Structure 1
């Protein structure tokens, strides 16, 4: 990974910026209970953790031709009820500050949709990013490259001027298709240009002054 080329650092949300395992499990289990379904098993959880809400609903309720009742249940429950259960990754704020000091663009590419703004507001990150691209902002969510390509277009960047930090095969495939650098976060088995298990390690990989002084 040639850090001298990088002009934008883009983060996935779930599993990178935040440990959202507990929050997402509580949320989807509440939805399933409303339809007398058992709670998520481990395989289901791994899958819905990467998916958009639409894809997760279709995956969890394949027997339903009309998913409107599920979306009504989701609206009644409201994801904001579990946002406080999301745990911000230690060192994220400091890393974002260092990225800003280095003059790089700070971005988010997430398969979340209308919940992302609430997450940023709740955790006081609303002004911490220069661009946030959700699944609602593109024709195709991850694993397609649309979100990363939208960020490239917004700042007239080449693929190798972006590094994407993700934790899933969806993230890896999106970066691969877009041609960007990819750092796998807390996922040693995921093929990537580099691996990190903390925000400090990401800072070191990016050769930011704060982490390499």
Structure 2
């Protein structure tokens, strides 16, 4: 890919699940393993939508609401080896090529995810660690998404203004996080989601960043 003119942006922030990876199947297996262990019904379609956006702790709290075994379920969750599920994750097409080109064009790259410690195993497995200057998970903030703290930490680290950052997400939680932090929001593969801009392919990101973007929210 060719270099392009300098953008108004300095930091590009990625969500993980649903943006960098299709991790739905891995998450389904993960939470069904917990539910099955405690003899509870497996995930419904509605459950899948909820847990896919939540932190692991929030997801188990939701699945075991009013269940006296909640504390046991949280402990069981922490003992599970997510590493075995990583092969079920599918990296989005053209992700590596775009990350490489962004680095060549001197953008700072960061991740803001509601994943916990599993994010580092995922990046290592798919050989993506080298592309990112900063990774912030739900373990690194007091209040995870949709609170904007995770974005504020990234802005502070790079010493940039909100107007110099773009957040790429796929869920209402991502949108709310971006809006509260007042950064540009690019919706990935979700036309129903409000956003400053929408893309369905990572190859659309590079031309978008070099254009004269104006917020739509």
2:106 and 2:113 map into 1 onto residues whose CA distance is 23
Q: CA deviation at 1:65?
A: 4.7
Query: Which of 133, 144, 164 in structure 2 is aligned with 1:141?
Result: 144
Alignment correspondent of 2:28: 25
Report the 3-state secondary structure (helix = DSSP H, G, I; strand = E; otherwise coil) of the residue aligned with 2:13.
Answer: strand
Alignment correspondent of 2:48: 45
What RMSD, in angstroms, separates the aligned Cα atoms of the two structures? 1.4
1:149 and 1:9 map into 2 onto residues whose CA distance is 13
1:53 and 1:75 map into 2 onto residues whose CA distance is 9
Q: Does residue 1:35 correspond to 2:38, yes or no? A: yes
Alignment correspondent of 1:113: 116
Report the 3-state secondary structure (helix = DSSP H, G, I; strand = E; otherwise coil) of the residue aligned with 1:206.
Answer: helix
Report the 3-state secondary structure (helix = DSSP H, G, I; strand = E; otherwise coil) of the residue aligned with 1:82.
Answer: helix
Tell me if structure 1 keeps the 8 A contact 2:145–2:173.
yes
Q: Does residue 1:5 correspond to 2:3, yes or no? A: no
Alignment correspondent of 1:167: 170
Q: CA deviation at 1:71?
A: 2.5
Alignment correspondent of 2:3: none
1:205 and 1:134 map into 2 onto residues whose CA distance is 26
Alignment correspondent of 1:73: 76
Tell me if structure 1 keeps the 8 A contact 2:103–2:131.
no
Q: CA deviation at 1:66?
A: 5.7
Report the 3-state secondary structure (helix = DSSP H, G, I; strand = E; otherwise coil) of the residue aligned with 2:7.
Answer: helix
2:62 and 2:209 map into 1 onto residues whose CA distance is 37
Report the 3-state secondary structure (helix = DSSP H, G, I; strand = E; otherwise coil) of the residue aligned with 1:183.
Answer: strand
Q: CA deviation at 1:198?
A: 1.1
Correspondences of 1:51-70 after superposition (within 5 Å)? 51-65=54-68, 67-70=70-73
Alignment correspondent of 1:191: 194
Correspondences of 1:80-119 after superposition (within 5 Å)? 80-119=83-122
Unaligned regions of 5+ residues in structure 2, if any? 1-5, 212-217
Alignment correspondent of 2:215: none
Alignment correspondent of 1:179: 182
2:67 and 2:8 map into 1 onto residues whose CA distance is 48
Unaligned regions of 5+ residues in structure 1, if any? 209-213
Q: CA deviation at 1:130?
A: 0.4
Q: CA deviation at 1:180?
A: 0.1
1:98 and 1:45 map into 2 onto residues whose CA distance is 34
Count matched residues. 206
1:30 and 1:204 map into 2 onto residues whose CA distance is 42
Alignment correspondent of 2:214: none
1:191 and 1:40 map into 2 onto residues whose CA distance is 27
1:65 and 1:54 map into 2 onto residues whose CA distance is 16
TM-score by length of 1: 0.93
Report the 3-state secondary structure (helix = DSSP H, G, I; strand = E; otherwise coil) of the residue aligned with 1:23.
Answer: helix
